[in-house]
Amino acid sequence: MRNLEAVTGDITTQTTDAIVNAANATLLGGGGVDGAIHAAAGPRLLEACRRVRRTTWPDGLPVGEAVATEAFDLPARWVIHTVGPNAHRGQTDPAMLASCFTRCLDFAAELGATSIAFPAVSAGVYGWDADDVARIAVDAVRRHPSEGVQLVRFVLFGDRLRVAFDRALAN
C-alpha cells in the first residue's frame, strides 16, 4: 500500500529519493517550479538536461512524457522532469495530465526510488484548475501499479493547491 500525502512547501528542500520538475519541453529551465529546481540544483542540472536534448529528446520532451537526471545540489537523488499539458494551448485532455504522474512513477520505480515528491503539474501558468489537477493526479497515482514507490508526497505552493489536494486525497 502506497502512502500519499499533501504538504505546503518548497519542493527543492524535499529529501525524497526523487522530486518531479514541472518542466517545459526544452528542459533548459524556466519559471515557477522549473526555475526553482534548476537554481537549487546548480549548473550541472542544466548540463544534464542539455545532454538529454542532444541524445534522447533532440526535439524536446513531449507533453505527458518524463525523463530522469541526477539531482546534483538538491537533497533528493534524482529529478524526474515531465511536461504538463498547457490548457492555454488547448491541451485539456485529462489523460495527458495523468500521464505526467504515471510516467514519473515509472521512472521512479526503474531508478529504485521508494519516495517521490510531485508539484501540482500544470496548475500554474499552464492554466489547469487546481481541483482538476488534484483529482487527476491523485487518481493516477492511486491506480498506478508500480511496486517499490512507497511514499508519494504532493508538495504544494500555497493554500489553494493544498486544499484541492487534501480534498482529492479524502475521496
Kindly report the three-state secondary structure assignment for every residue of 120-155. Answer: CCCCCCCCCCHHHHHHHHHHHHHHCCCCCCCEEEEE
Residue 1 pLDDT class (50, 70, 90 cuts):
low
The three three-digit cell numbers of residue 123, written as one number: 496548475
**Residue 147 confidence (pLDDT):** 80
Catalytic-labelled residue, pool 17, 34, 106, 166? 34
- Going from the N-terminus, what domains does the chain have, and what CATH number goes with each? 3-170 (3.40.220.10)
Asked whether residue 170 carries a pLDDT value surpassing 80, the answer given is yes
Q: At what angle do helices 94-111 and 130-143 cross, to 10 degrees?
A: 50
Question: Residues near 63 by Cβ (< 8 Å), separated by ≥ 6?
Answer: 25, 83, 84, 85, 86, 91, 96, 100
Model pLDDT for residues 48-91, shown as the tens digit of each residue? 999 999 999 999 999 999 999 999 999 999 999 999 999 999 99
- Mean predicted lDDT score pLDDT of the chain: 96
Mean pLDDT, to the nearest integer, of 36-50? 98
Main-chain phi, psi angles of 153, to 5 degrees: -115, 125
Mean pLDDT, to the nearest integer, of 126-130? 96
**Residue 2 confidence (pLDDT):** 84
Residue 153 pLDDT class (50, 70, 90 cuts):
very high
Instruction: Report the SS3 class of residue 18.
Output: strand
**Residue 6 confidence (pLDDT):** 98
Active site residue 34: yes
**Residue 155 confidence (pLDDT):** 98
The three three-digit cell numbers of residue 98, written as one number: 495523468
Model pLDDT for residues 14-36, shown as the tens digit of each residue? 999 999 999 999 999 999 999 99
Mean pLDDT, to the nearest integer, of 112-127? 96
**What type of residue sits at position 38?**
H
The three three-digit cell numbers of residue 59, written as one number: 526535439
